Structure formats: structure tokens, C-alpha cells
Amino acid sequence: MLPAEVMQQAQAEFINWQNSGSSVMEISHRSKPFIEVAAAAEQDLRDLLAIPDNYKVLFLQGGGRGQFASVPLNIASPEQYSLHLQTGSWSKGAVSEAAKYTHTHVVAKDTVNADNKRIIPDIADWDLPEDILGNTAFLHYCPNETVDGVALHTPPKLPNVELVADMSSNILSAPINIADYGVIYAGAQKNIGPSGLAVVIVREDLLGKAQAQTPSFINFTLAAEHDSMYNTPPTYSWYLAGLVFKWLKAQGGVSAIHAKNLEKAQLLYSCIDELDFYHNNVAAEFRSIMNVPFTLANPELDAQFLAEAEATGLHALKGHRSVGGMRASIYNAMPLAGVEALVKFMREFAAAQD
């Protein structure tokens, strides 16, 4: 879902962009007008996240999953370790991909507490062998697990270890301190724009370390040297991302959207917790404010729930095929009214089954 205002603007200027007689999609990525679009999008993202000057912002391809390979290829050597905090299906996928290019070590996996709610182990309980720590390129984690709805709201910092975050489903949803990270990456299709674009934020001193086997089109250093135009970038997605960044600024920036996101999430979790009819299996401290998975007490009602929701105009509530159940994704572009409508439907559906 993209902000309605962004989609309206994009539609209005779809064929005749800035009175050029062409679509922004049709102009060369090397033309002055597109370079201006690209630079403005980068600057707006820098403003929104307060990105320091010693970080490069790259607009690449391959989505989040592409970075599972790109990150170790670019910032680690085959002799080094990548550490992995495994908290759900996305951070798990990163481990097997990294293993092609580095040694890997899983420092901890999500588990359950006494109430059988999912939690992420405290850093004090992680498995951190000294010899591995001394030969580590980075620690990878996913602060917001899209499929599982498990989130880590504060960055897990290890001394002298670069932190790499897959923020595909939570970038721009809450303020972050960029300096906590060596690399942040995000597939665009959740909070930034259309699929096919990936944003990478990388500290400059991590450039220049790519393994010889790194394909040029995913080489961070080449991308940085060529303003992400070493190869033809996904220009239309970049342009749309720029519109989304401007929309976010107009909303008051990341702090303001964070407040709205908290309000939306609280409304939905309150409904789930209040009614025995619904259940979310994540401990409160580790609940995502972007992806809210829940199950019905009686799974035989799943199909009916989804059909009635669809008929009410509430789409895409089916949980990921790997976990089943339901999942409401309430990204930045989802207005409060959308969550209110969902909660209203959920209360009515539960009441009707009594």
C-alpha cells in the first residue's frame, strides 16, 4: 500500500511529467531531470533519518533478500564470521545465504517465555565464543520480522562488531540512530515504494572491502562511486520512493509517523488482547508495530473471517503461508481509519459467533 496522495500525484503526472511530454519512466537515468529526482529523493531520505555525511545511501535492486548475499559479499571476507540473531523467517533466511560467503554463527534464536509468548533472548544470554568474536565482520538482525510480527525495538550492540539491520518492513516507521549501524538495508515494497528497489545505507569506511567474486551490479563501492548508476537503476521506483519521502516529510517526519504507528498498533493489539476470540503469540515488549499476526480461537472460522473481511473491503489479511492464521500489515501508508475499520470488523465478527 502506498499513500493515497502519492498515488494521485503519480497518476496525474504519469504521461506528462513536469510538462516534459514524457513519463519520468521514459527519460534516461543519465538525464539532468532524472538526476535531480534521484538526488532529491536521497536528500529527503537523509533528512528524514538524519543520516550522517559519512554514510552513503544507495538505491539498488534485489529487494531485501538480495542483500542477504550482497552484505557479506561487500563487507566480509570468507575467513571472517557473520553473527546472526535469528528471530523469525527473514533473519533465518539471511544465515543460509551468508554461509556461502562467510563463516556464520547464530548468537541466539527467538524463544518463548513462561506464558508461551515469543521473546528475543537478552544479549547477556547470547552464545558469544571469544575466538569467533575476535574474527567477526558483522552482526546481522532483523528488527521487524514481517512474517512473525516479532520486533526488537532497540539495536543489539556488541562492542567492536558492526551492526547490520534488515529494515525492509520497518524503515521509516520510527526514529533510529543511524550511527548505531554499519549497514541498514530495506526492500522498498513495505514503507518506501514499489517492489524492485532496495535502499542500502552504509558507513563509508565499510566500502572497498568487496570479495573478488562480488557481481559488479551489487558492489556497494561501485554503486557509491557512481551515485547508484553503475548499472541502470529502477528509475520509476526511485521516483516513487522520492514522492513517498516528500509525503512523509509533509506528515511531520518520522517522529510524527511513529506516533501514528504506535496509535494504530495499540488499537489493534488492544482489540486482540481484550477478546478471547483472537490471539497474538508475541510478548508485549517484542510486538511489531508494522505487522500484527493473530489467530482465531477456532481456526475453522479462518476462511469465513477472511471472506467477510474481504467483502467489507479489508484486504490482504491472510497470514503468510509458512505460519497460517491472520496478519494485518499496518505500514506507514495505512491510515488510522483503516485500522479502525479492521478493529470494528473484528469486534463484530467475534460478537456474531457468540
- The binding site for pyridoxal 5'-phosphate consists of 64-65, 90, 146, 166, 189, 231-232
- From the list 15-23, 123-131, 276-284, 291-299, the region that binds its own copies by CB under 8 A is 15-23
Taking the C-alpha atoms of residue 256 and residue 10, their distance in angstroms, rounded to an integer, is 24
Feature table: binding site for L-glutamate: 30
Q: Which is nearer to its own copies, 12 or 250 (CB)?
A: 12
Question: Residue 277 and residue 11: Cα distance in Å, rounded?
Answer: 41
Q: Does residue 17 have an active-site annotation?
A: no
Name which position in 237, 280, 288, 332 contacts its own copies (CB under 8 A): 237
Q: Which of 54, 113, 177, 195 binds its own copies (CB under 8 A)?
A: 195
Question: Considering 190, 246, 260, 264, which one is annotated as catalytic?
Answer: 190
Alpha carbon dihedral 270, 144, 177, 173, in 10-degree steps, equals: -60
Strand-pair category, 198-203 with 55-60:
antiparallel
- The verdict on whether 166 is a catalytic residue reads yes
- Say whether residue 293 binds its own copies (CB under 8 A): no
Query: Would you list which residues are annotated within the binding site?
Result: 30, 64-65, 90, 146, 166, 189, 231-232
Set 17, 90, 238, 247: catalytic member: 90
- Specify the stretch interacting with its own copies by CB under 8 A; choose among 47-55, 201-209, 214-222, 243-251: 214-222
- How far the first Cα of the chain sits from its last, in Å, is 33
Distance CA 238, CA 43 (A): 13
Identify which range of 148-156, 224-232, 289-297, 341-349 contacts its own copies by CB under 8 A: 224-232
Interface with its own copies (CB under 8 A): 1-2, 7-8, 10-11, 14-15, 21-23, 25-31, 61-66, 68-70, 73, 97, 100-101, 187, 189, 194-197, 212-213, 215-218, 230-237, 313, 315-316, 321
Catalytic annotation, residues:
90, 166, 190
